[in-house]
């Protein structure tokens, strides 16, 4: 196949060949920076710990349109389970197979070729274009995008429009735009009792018995009603630990792990206050810890959502739905310095799976969608 006619496919193959298992970038960002350099992009490598981050920008004027994503991938799993080597891009049955094909090296390749096409057509277009990449999205996400955002905020560099290349599509390319994500707040509840012999319960205080009614009440709470974009907030227990392992000992301590997936109708503070009021009412001796959180974000219908939908209709012939479903993404960090943000990428049916793949034809179409967004936001005459 002549890859000159399919530049996005060619670049996606190069990126997949680099085994960038989180947090190793494996040279992906250097490859992309080298492609952008002839276009006038100024690239900064912002390393943090073992994580590699890239901020590349062309131009200084507003508006600033940013494409954001990650070069790291999840581990491939057992090689023998794959039909072909996960880090050798293989075309089969109209699909490109390889770890990261859909999440998200296909999107990264489409970013680059869309930018190259746009700059060739509009070398003196108004505004600026940027690319924000990290090798920490699939990992703890503490040294990646959040560090770049902190650096940009410190120097007063804001983003007007951001497209995150997460695989947002459900059944076909462009059928879904993610215009927000629920918040995620992980908590640990420690309930203190008094250890003792099960035959003498009057001399002990069983934290399992004490917390059980509170758990039932918390599980039944309607935290909020959601809104036009988000479903109602949910609270779920994920792990519970108590006891010594002996059948005749009342445990002295219980540890409960839980999570909220919350809408913009609730806040961290409101959720914690409501939780504490239940625990207090049940007279528990307890402690709370909140080890990790992803704040919710939302971009209502507006310029970027409309432009992305127009570009999708023009290229893919579908009218995309707006969705705030799924887990967290790095969009939660970028939203703090960006007024409008969406997630738009390939079909997500095989992400993190054995034999991950993306439709070959979708790669060039995705590049055309990204190009259409640039045309509508930055080109003086609109789409070419």
pLDDT confidence of residue 1: 46
CB 253 within 8 A of CB 317: no
Contacts with 110 (C-beta within 8 Å, 6 or more apart), sequence order:
8, 165, 363, 366, 367, 369, 370
Least-confidence region, from 123-137, 234-248, 324-338: 324-338
pLDDT of residue 328: 84
Which residues are identified as catalytic? 72, 137
Instruction: Quote the mean pLDDT of the chain.
Output: 96
Q: How many CB atoms lie within 10 A of CB 327?
A: 9
The whole-number average pLDDT for the span 76-105 is 97
Structural tokens at position 55:
């901020």
Q: Is the pLDDT of residue 99 over 60?
A: yes
Residue 326 reports pLDDT greater than 90: no
Residue 278 phi, psi dihedral angles, 5° rounding: -70, -45
State the pLDDT confidence band at 338, using cuts at 50, 70 and 90: very high
pLDDT (mean) for 222-248: 96
Residue 382 has pLDDT above 90, yes or no: no
Supply the pLDDT for residue 157: 97
- For residues 102-139, one letter each, b for 16 or more C-beta atoms within 10 angstroms of the residue's C-beta and e for the rest, the string is bbbbbbbbbbbbbbbbbbeebeebebbbbbbbbbbbbb
Centre a 10 Å sphere on the Cβ of residue 292 and count the other Cβ atoms it contains.
Answer: 13
Above pLDDT 90, what percent of the chain? 94
Helices (H), 96-170: 106-121, 145-154
Residue bearing tokens 């060949």: 17
Express each pLDDT in 149-178 by its tens digit.
Answer: 999 999 999 999 999 999 999 999 999 999
- Which helix (H) or strand (E) segment holds residue 33: the answer is helix 28-36
How far is the C-alpha of 152 from the C-alpha of 156, rounded, in Å?
6
In the chain, % of residues over pLDDT 70: 98
- Residues 126 and 120: their CA atoms lie apart, in Å, by 14
pLDDT at residue 325 tops 90: no
Residue 380: predicted pLDDT = 72
Cα-Cα end-to-end distance for the chain: 27
pTM of the model: 0.89
The predicted pLDDT at position 3 comes to 52
Asked if residue 61 has pLDDT above 60, the reply is yes
**pLDDT per position as a tens digit, 364-378:** 999 999 999 999 999
Tell me the per-residue pLDDT of 28-42, one tens digit each, with 9 for 90 and over: 999 999 999 999 999
Tokens 């590049």 locate to: 367
CA distance 345 to 347: 7
Strands laid side by side in the 176-178 sheet: 42-45, 53-58, 128-134, 64-70, 159-164, 338-343, 176-178, 321-323
């Amino acid at each position: 196949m002549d890859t000159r006619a399919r530049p996005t496919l060619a670049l996606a193959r190069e990126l997949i060949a680099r085994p960038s298992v989180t947090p190793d970038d494996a040279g992906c960002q250097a490859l992309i920076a080298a492609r952008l350099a002839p276009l006038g992009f100024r690239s900064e490598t912002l390393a943090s710990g073992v994580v590699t981050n890239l901020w590349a920008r062309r131009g200084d004027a507003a508006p600033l349109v940013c494409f954001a994503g990650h070069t790291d991938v999840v581990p491939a799993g057992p090689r023998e389970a794959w039909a072909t080597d996960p880090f050798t891009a293989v075309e089969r049955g109209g699909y490109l197979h390889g770890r990261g094909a859909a999440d998200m090296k296909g999107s990264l390749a489409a970013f680059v070729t869309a930018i190259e096409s746009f700059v060739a057509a509009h070398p003196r277009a108004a505004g600026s274009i940027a690319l924000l990449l990290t090798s920490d999205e699939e990992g703890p996400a503490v040294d990646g995008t959040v560090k770049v955002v902190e650096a940009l905020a410190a120097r007063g560099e804001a983003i007007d429009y951001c497209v995150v290349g997460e695989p947002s599509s459900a059944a076909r390319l462009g059928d879904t735009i993610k215009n927000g994500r629920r918040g995620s707040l992980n908590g640990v509840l420690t309930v203190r009792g008094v250890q003792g012999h099960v035959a003498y319960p009057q001399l002990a205080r069983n934290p399992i018995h004490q917390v059980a009614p509170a758990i039932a009440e918390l599980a039944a709470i309607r935290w909020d009603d959601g809104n036009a974009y988000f479903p109602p907030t949910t609270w779920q227990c994920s792990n519970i630990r108590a006891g010594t392992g002996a059948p005749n000992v009342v445990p002295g301590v219980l540890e409960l792990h839980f999570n909220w997936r919350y809408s913009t109708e609730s806040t961290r503070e409101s959720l914690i206050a409501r939780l504490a009021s239940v625990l207090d009412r049940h007279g528990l001796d307890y402690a709370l810890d909140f080890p990790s959180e992803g704040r919710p974000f939302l971009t209502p219908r507006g310029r970027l959502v409309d432009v992305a939908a127009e570009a999708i209709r023009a290229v893919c012939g579908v009218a995309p739905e707006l969705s705030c479903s799924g887990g967290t993404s790095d969009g939660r960090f970028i939203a703090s310095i960006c007024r409008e943000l969406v997630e738009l990428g390939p079909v997500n049916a095989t992400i993190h799976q054995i034999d991950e793949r993306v439709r070959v034809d979708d790669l060039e179409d995705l590049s055309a969608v990204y190009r259409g967004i640039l045309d509508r936001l930055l080109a003086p005459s609109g789409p070419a």
